[in-house]
Amino acid sequence: IKNIGVLTSGGDAPGMNAAIRAVVRAAIYYDLQVTGILRGYEGLVHGDFIEMNRKSVANIIQRGGTILKTARSDAFRTMEGREQAHAQLLKHNVDALIVIGGDGTFTGANLFTSEFDFPVVGLPGTIDNDLQGTDFTIGYDTAINTVVNAVDKIRDTAESHDRLFIVEVMGRDSGLIALRSGIGVGAEAILIPEANMGVEGLITRLESGRKDKASKIVVVAEGDEVGGAFNVGEVLKKKFPNYDIRISVLGHIQRGGKPSCMDRVLASRFGVAAVEGVLAGQSGVMVGQVNRELVFTRFDHAIKHIDAQEVSPAWLKLVEILSL
């Protein structure tokens, strides 16, 4: 292995830059060349490659977004697109690939590595934290802190006006952002796709809660089966005509901003481990951290949507107990 390619793909996540920096620095440390690939698999297919050096990753550890840019590529979903991508790698003498992203990224990487027997190692970079084989993904910690900061502000105004706020957070297929940030803000209820609480369950929760409480916060994951904050709002407005209800969709602010120290360190550790993994012959795997130890998990296992440890009855009970 003489030249490692690196790309970011799918939704960006705070800490992706720290991960790129770690990959580049580790590669240089081990006397390798590094090729940056722009706009994820889209740039891979079209040959948007740049040479990277020590300086190209200076002063980026603290920056949100990704200097390599990112995309969701339709071309790479086709065999023709992947053949083109493979040809580009050969043309640019790239011997192995490090991909930073989430489940879509690893689904593509899994196909690519098996079809072309090309070494690929992944780094979990997604705010959703919905991958197996790592306790935390890069970006999750920053995102939940962004949510907590935003909802603390909402709580101030909710309290002043005696209002109920329904706050929608990201997580198309996963309620982990909602669950952790909901506990962090002291939400009265949390709706997540995995728990199936439904609107009836939510109504029961609100009815059994304290009547004298001035403000109420309901955190809803975007992927919840009720269909997001506006649908939940419609139902609650009918059921509780006396509540003054407002809706707030936090949206993409959750994906931006300076990465937290936790995310920077996780990304740095994963970046170095990915390069060392490639050199040790690892392929078709994602780097992760489980109980503080670095582990490699096969892509096909990493992307399985097994409910994460937190979406367990014990965590849901925690929410119930604390929302009294």
User: Which residues of the chain form contacts with ligand F6P (CB under 6 A)?
Assistant: 11, 102, 126-128, 170-172, 222, 255
CA distance 66 to 252: 15
**128 marked ligand binding residue:** yes
Q: Which is nearer to ligand F6P, 128 or 188 (CB)?
A: 128
- Residue 236: in which H helix or E strand, if any? helix 229-239
The SS3 assignment for 79 reads helix
Is residue 146 within 8 Å of residue 253, measured between CB atoms? Answer: yes
Q: Which is nearer to ligand F6P, 88 or 126 (CB)?
A: 126
Min dist CB 293 to ligand F6P, Å, is: 26
- Give the length of the chain: 324
**255 marked ligand binding residue:** yes
Q: Which is nearer to ligand F6P, 126 or 282 (CB)?
A: 126
**252 marked ligand binding residue:** yes
Min dist CB 274 to ligand F6P, Å, is: 20
Min dist CB 28 to ligand F6P, Å, is: 30
Residue partners of 313: CB distance under 8 A and separation at least 6: none
**11 marked ligand binding residue:** yes
Min dist CB 74 to ligand F6P, Å, is: 13
From 12, 117, 128, 173, the catalytic residue: 128
User: How far are the Cα atoms of 8, 40, 207, 224, 236 from residue 105, in angstroms, in the given order?
Assistant: 9, 9, 42, 23, 38
Look at residues 141, 179, 172 and name the one whose alpha carbon lies nearest to residue 14.
141
**78 marked ligand binding residue:** no
CA distance 69 to 67: 5
128: annotated active-site residue: yes
Known binding positions: 11, 21-25, 72-73, 102-105, 126-128, 155, 163, 170-172, 186-188, 213-215, 222, 246, 252-255
Known binding positions for ADP: 21-25, 155, 186-188, 213-215
Residues labelled as active-site residues = 128
